[in-house]
Structure 1
Amino acid sequence: MKKIFAFLFVLFSIFTVHAQIERVKWTTETEKLSDTEYHLIYKAEIEDHWHLYSQFLPEDSTIPTEFFYNEEQLGKDFELIGKATESESITDFDKVFQMDLTYFEDHATFTQKIRILNPEIKNIESEASYQACDDKSCIFDSQVLNFSLTGSSEVVVATIDDKSKVLSEKLQLNVTGWDKYEKEEVKEKSNFGIFILGFLGGLIALLTPCVFPMIPLTVSFFTKSASNSQKGLVNAMLYGVFILLIYVLLSLPFHFLDSLNPEILNTISTNVWLNIFFFLILAFFAFSFFGYYEITLPASWGNKMDAASSNIGGFIGIFFMALTLAIVSFSCTGPILGSLLAGSLTSDGGAMQLTMGMTGFGLALALPFTLFAMFPKWLNALPKSGGWLNTVKVVLGFLELAMAFKFLSNADLVKHWGLLKREVFIGIWIVLGIGLLLYLLGKIKFPHDGPLKKLSFGRISFAVLVAAFVVYLIPGLTNTKHANLKLLSGFPPPLPYSLYEKESDCPLGLNCYKDLAEGLEAAKTENKPIMLDFTGWACVNCRKMEEQVWSQDKIYNLLKKDYVIVSLYVDDRKELDEDEQFQFIKHNGSLKNIKTIGDKWATLQTLNFASNSQPFYVLLNHDMELLNYTNAYETDDEAYYDWLMEGLKNFKE
């Protein structure tokens, strides 16, 4: 079972077909290198507008191309020498999985070197397992191939036994009613969200003691040192542009790394040691904000930049002034940038999201210098520097520490250590929230805090918000329906990762079936419609749908009382019982080995619905007739409720 799938948003389309469409055609060749060594050459012809994925993908992105061999032959008749090599590929942003992936267009060649151990062997059987996608949908498929060591090779025209024929037929649902419903369109997501987060981070950085006092000093310098007010305004605007440019430039090296190896950025979200590293770094930043030590770049850097800005006039001098600001303010901006870096690179957007975040951050820092230069009278409205700036730093320290535990939680989930179960994680946040509340009320102090004579309105207001957040977290410690903290969905560990023993392993404790035949029988007995829930154990968007949408009272009650849920886990790698394993013969005459539960349900999904995206929901009656259009990642609970109600209405009619 793969860990967290890196796709946070899946585009898909539904085709009116009842047999899997062949998007990739495979042929084989054999190249003799010596009496005992051969090259097995796989050649794939890929349909226009579709692409086939590389063998070498980020660990938890999507399904790579893989080659398997007959277990009775491998190690006895021949052995593999190294890994299969592949022809020139493309690494680019994939619209389906919203991340940089490596894939092939038009055609691909894979070459596996082998050594013959049995001189009598004439043929080698292999299975190519792969996923192919266009811009909207995917298929997951496999094909049994034959390599002849006597000079001929061909795609096997499969024959299967009677058991396989019977079990293959059961996968064909013969779904009807496709002509009644329109195809669903899903909008692409953008990087605007990370830009806004970066912008907010920049606004917070402005309120730190390293940056805030620089605003009136720098603006006064430009307005007074220039020969005229117009030139001073231009210089101040240029200064702001250079601040923005510097932070954008900081993200460019990550694009270089991304182009060399996208795995460097895209595997961070599930890399245990990198998550632990981020935990330690953010904790280190947090205690810096608390005032126990300062994180600064070498003083010589700032001195050199300051000297350069004084000695060099014009545009270049202003650029060095902006660079000086970035260096001397690092002790306050560094921790915020560190959080932005970690948050961007542990999402699926990689370097591009980092650039968007840095752009937002730089823009927020640059705007005040430009605006106050344009309207210098506004400087009179700025609050005076004082102890409140240190308060901002300490508050940021608590937020950094809370964020740090998110990364430690990622590592814990991947390794299943059980250290940060959901209730433990929420408990830590409650403790940090109480600590922040006590600080705001003046009950605890840190090294750089002065005497607190009275509580300001802003301090009291923020303390109330913190107290409200702590109260909101408390139900998360319980084993009740209120433990689902929907506003934080996807941030704490998932609901099943709990200290409590759950009565049901179905989402939200709903009744569900994990076998289609059992679910259909229950639906007939209870006279209810079926909701096929194509899901995955490690599907992030599936959990978001369950915790944020299914948990809505009217949707929850509708699913519980009026539907039979059949949850089919397409990433379940548990092997089927031997008498349930079979070979599925496809329309092109090749075979797919159905060995695991996931193989079975993934094949059923692509065969009947020509889609390989999760979550994926289908409403059916007992005769396998559609009751509404198929649905996917629909976060609008009203729209999802209407979709369910329409299906129920059609069932009753």
Structure 2
Amino acid sequence: MRYITVFIALFFSSLGLFSQDNDNPVKWSQEVKKISDTDYELILKGDIAEGWHVYSQFTSEGGSLPSEFSYKNAGENYELVGETLESETIVEYSDIFEVDETYFKETAVFTQKIKLLKPDVNQIDINFFYQVCKEVCIPVDADFSFVLDGGTAVKEEKTIDEHSKVLSSALKIDLKNKELLGSTHKGGGTSSSLWMIFGLGFLGGLIALLTPCVFPMIPLTVSFFTKHSQKKSKGIINALLYGFFIVLIYFLLSLPFHIFDSVDSQILNTIATNIWLNIAFFLIFVFFSFSFFGYYELTLPSSWANKMDAASSKIGGVIGIFFMAVTLAIVSFSCTGPILGGLLGSTVLEEGDVAMNLSAGMTGFGVALALPFALFALFPAWLNSLPKSGGWMTTVKVVLGFLELALALKFLSNADLVGNWGILKREIFLGIWVVLFVLLALYLFGIFRFPHDGPKQKLSAGRKVMGLVSAAFSIYIVLGLLGVSSLKLLSGFPPPAFYSVFETESDCPLGIDCYKDFDEGVAHAKKVNKPILLDFTGWACVNCRKMEENVWSEPDVYAILKEDYVLISLYVDDRKELPKSEQFDFKYDTGRVKHIETVGQKWGTFQTVNFNAASQPYYVLMSPNLEILNTAVQYTDSDVYREWLREGLVNFKNN
């Protein structure tokens, strides 16, 4: 468990998602105390954010990783006098590692005395490795410099060259009426989106109930609670408590993403647009799908389930019921794992507060999974109406396998779009989907079978209906490819229409003339004296595609965009490398320096610096003289967007 936690943290750290400035839950300050001409005391003080803690150098072996100091050139320029001392710590037993752990809360102070061996030494450089933890642990590898001038240490200042200063200055623009951006309008879709994601999670939980890993456990578990309790009411209460713990467990699985999001608000967006992570998701989902097809079975280590089961029997009471719920989660993983993976994947593809979305989806999944245990405990006679386990559950797994493959293709498409590879164009993507759903229809009609299918039997009415639905969906996609239908039901999922195998007049959404460079777009807007629609978008942004295909495509909205505005679309996830002459280092006000080498890094930094925003889609209306004309808008409906555009035109004409 320890190594899994550390691996996850190191993995995200390797992506550059944790830094030493305001992303870090610990703020460090330095001090040097002069004792004599050769003796000094180095003091490093950390202010730790609420809820977080940092482990001591002397925490027990076998637990979390201890803090560790490396003193550069020690023994050559200076010598250490004694060990590095620590301020007051807390000692607490860890149930996970079964050792006493020592850590700091709120404040950590480290003090080290040194004696100079060379009189001309004026700076001591150290490396400090530590873990800062909440529900997860983040490893940090930090460098500090202490200047021996008899006073406060001076931290090394990162500098950028003149070339970078010029390009950094050009990235910042002089916006007028910038205060309007403080009231970004989202169209009131956040709460409804959470309920929709909760509903999708609930649907996923209902599907999981129909799998052979979960379904047979319903009557067994309910019977256990109702028959092994002295009172019927006690059995019902225990079953309800069991259901509550199931919901709690799946909700808790989403908590690490809130921690990651609080440390770096862009972490999940980075995941969603990272080429190699999208390829990894693609491979994982393909792996999941073939497990549903019966070629192998995914299971967590059986020892986990055995330990949880033993704990539930040994402890009893409320805690014992909790461990029973954990046992269910572990035992049913082979069926629920791929479904939860799909939920995670689809949530990452959504825009907005992804951590909240994931919590809503996971809670919905847990509620659906827990519901039958509570209902059948209240009404045990209903157990007699449950259908018998059988081949229909295998059919459910195969259907899920095909759906996993369809979702996997979205991740491969993200990597293709962000990398501008031109491999998985819109027609190819949709063509593969047609093949997948035709194969699903053929399976449901009994044309071919998978290894874990039982003896061939007469097709049930349910299988026939599902086969017809799959065939109809394939026809719907074909009609969309032929231009007969608009495929609005799939908006945001396939690549955009302009990402086509056929030559298109424009690589802009809906064929609207657009500029993909801010300065070029502003120059054209000045020339034609039209207001600007600044569109911060992304190749892998699902809600961006939904806005373009469902809102921008509305005839009156389309007319306004095409005739009355100059569209500037900036892709913040474009991994295309900038020419060497346009690459530079950008220095934030915090002192952090970021190297800008891709088109997406440039426009992502441009959005953050000038608009204090980092989400997509993000729309801004401005005049050619950079006057903000209206509040910024994100994902919303066509009515709100239409009025927003019209209000911007009125404000432009009145300026």
TM range (shorter): 0.5 to 0.7
Contact preservation (8 Å) 2:513, 2:567? yes
CA distance in 1, matches of 2:180, 2:284: 55
Residues 456-467 of structure 1: pairs in structure 2 closer than 5 A: 456=461, 458-467=462-471
Match for residue 236 of structure 1?
Answer: 239
The separation in 2 between residues aligned to 1:547 and 1:624, in whole angstroms, is 28
SS of the residue aligned with 2:534? Answer: strand
The letter for the 2-side match of 1:400 is E
Question: Cα deviations across residues 211-241 of structure 1 (Å, max 9, x unaligned)?
Answer: 1122223222322232221111112112212
Any unmatched runs of 5+ in structure 2? 1-15, 18-124, 148-156, 584-595
Asked if 2 retains the 8 angstrom alpha-carbon contact of 1:531 and 1:617, the reply is: no
Q: Residues 509-557 of structure 1, C-alpha deviation per residue, up to 9 Å, x if partnerless? A: 113456789878977998x853433435658355443233212233223
Residues 268 and 416 of structure 1: is their aligned pair in 2 closer, same or farther, counting only changes over 3 Å?
same
Q: Partner of 1:374 in structure 2?
A: 378
C-alpha distance in structure 1 between counterparts of 2:333 and 2:246, whole Å: 13
Give me the whole-angstrom Cα distance separating, in 2, the residues matched to 1:308 and 1:90: 30
What's the counterpart of residue 553 of structure 2?
551
1:284-303 residue pairs with structure 2 within 5 A? 284-299=287-302, 301-302=304-305
Tell me the secondary structure at the aligned position of residue 203 of structure 2: helix
Greater shift after overlay, 490-499 or 567-576?
567-576
| Residue aligning to 2:393 | 389
- Give the secondary-structure state (helix, strand or coil) at the position aligned to 1:451: coil
- Mapped contact 1:614–1:632 kept (Cα < 8 A): no
Distance change in 2, residues 1:298/1:535 (3 Å): closer
Q: Does the aligned pair in 2 maintain the 1:532–1:565 contact within 8 Å?
A: yes
Q: 1:549 to 1:481 in 2, by over 3 A?
A: farther
For residue 644 of structure 2, what is the aligned residue in structure 1? 643
Describe the shift of the 1:378–1:611 C-alpha distance in structure 2 as closer, same or farther (beyond 3 A).
Answer: closer
**Counterpart in the other structure of 2:200:** 197
Q: Decide whether aligned partners of structure 1 residues 620 and 267 sit closer, same or farther in structure 2, where only a CA change above 3 A counts.
A: closer
AA aligned to 1:425 is F
Amino acid aligned to 2:436: L
1:468 to 469, 472, 475: 472
AA of the residue aligned to 1:361:
F
Report what 1:225 is aligned to. 228
The offset of 1:431, in angstroms, is 0.8
Q: What is the one-letter code of the residue matched to 2:241?
A: L
Answer yes or no: is 1:334 the counterpart of 2:342: no
Whichever residue aligns with residue 636 of structure 1, its letter is: D
The letter for the 1-side match of 2:491 is: S
Q: Which amino acid letter does the alignment assign opposite residue 291 of structure 2?
A: S
Q: CA deviation at 1:399?
A: 0.8
Question: 2:410 maps to what in 1?
Answer: 406
* C-alpha distance in structure 1 between counterparts of 2:463 and 2:418, whole Å: 39
Which residue of 1 is the match for residue 250 of structure 2?
Answer: 247
**Residue 533 of structure 1 corresponds to which residue in structure 2?**
534
Q: Which amino acid aligns with 2:220?
A: L
Give the residue type in structure 2 aligned to 1:642.
E
Residue 324 of structure 2 is aligned to residue 321 of structure 1: yes
Find the counterpart in structure 1 of residue 501 from structure 2: 499
What is the match of residue 216 of structure 1?
Answer: 219
Contact 1:533/1:618 (<8 A) preserved: yes
Confirm or deny that 1:451 pairs with 2:452. no
Matched, 1:432 2:436: yes
Amino-acid identity (%): 57
Q: Secondary structure of 1:532's partner?
A: strand
Deviations 1:132-151 (A, max 9, x none): xxxxxxxxxx996xxxxxxx
Higher relative contact order (CA 8 A, sep 6+): 1
For residues 630 and 320 of structure 1, do their structure 2 counterparts lie closer, same or farther at Cα, with a shift above 3 Å needed? closer
1:422 aligns with 2:426: yes
State the one-letter code of the partner of 1:243: I
For residue 535 of structure 1, give the secondary structure of its aligned residue in structure 2.
Answer: strand
In structure 1, the partner of 2:43 is none
CA distance in 1, matches of 2:145, 2:214: 58
Specify the SS of the correspondent of 1:283.
helix
**Where do residues 106-145 of structure 1 align in structure 2 (5 Å cutoff)?**
126-127=159-160
> What corresponds to 1:488 in structure 2?
490
Cα 1:531–1:214 shift into 2, 3 Å: same
SS in 2 for 1:222: helix
Of 431, 434, 441, which aligns to 2:445?
441
Distance in 2 separating the partners of 1:256 and 1:610: 21
Q: Secondary structure of 1:220's match?
A: helix
Moved more, 414-423 or 531-540: 531-540
Partner amino acid for 1:635?
T
- Secondary structure of the residue aligned to 1:533 is strand
Q: Structure 1 residue 651: deviation in Å?
A: 7.5
CA distance in 1, matches of 2:355, 2:181: 39
Give the Cα separation in 2 of the matches to 1:314 and 1:293.
Answer: 37
Taking the aligned partners of 2:357 and 2:213, their CA distance within structure 1 comes to: 26
Structure 1 contact 441–455 (Cα < 8 Å) conserved: no
Deviation at 1:414, TM superposition (A): 3.9
Query: What is the Cα deviation at residue 269 of structure 1?
Result: 2.6
**Which stretch shows the higher mean deviation, 228-237 or 491-500?**
491-500
SS in structure 1 at match of 2:533: strand
The separation in 2 between residues aligned to 1:564 and 1:468, in whole angstroms, is 40
The gaps in structure 1 that reach 5 residues or longer are 1-5, 8-82, 93-100, 103-108, 115-123, 130-141, 145-159, 582-593
- TM-score, normalising length from structure 2? 0.61
Please give the alpha-carbon distance, in whole angstroms, between the structure 2 residues aligned to 1:282 and 1:570.
26
Partner Cα separation in structure 2 for residue 426 and residue 196 of structure 1: 26
2:281 aligns with one of 265, 268, 278 = 278
Give per-residue Cα distances to partners, 1:323-364, cap 9 Å, x unaligned: 333333232222223333444567675666555443332222
Task: Tell me the SS of whatever aligns to 2:200.
Answer: helix
TM-score, with normalisation over the residues of structure 1? 0.61
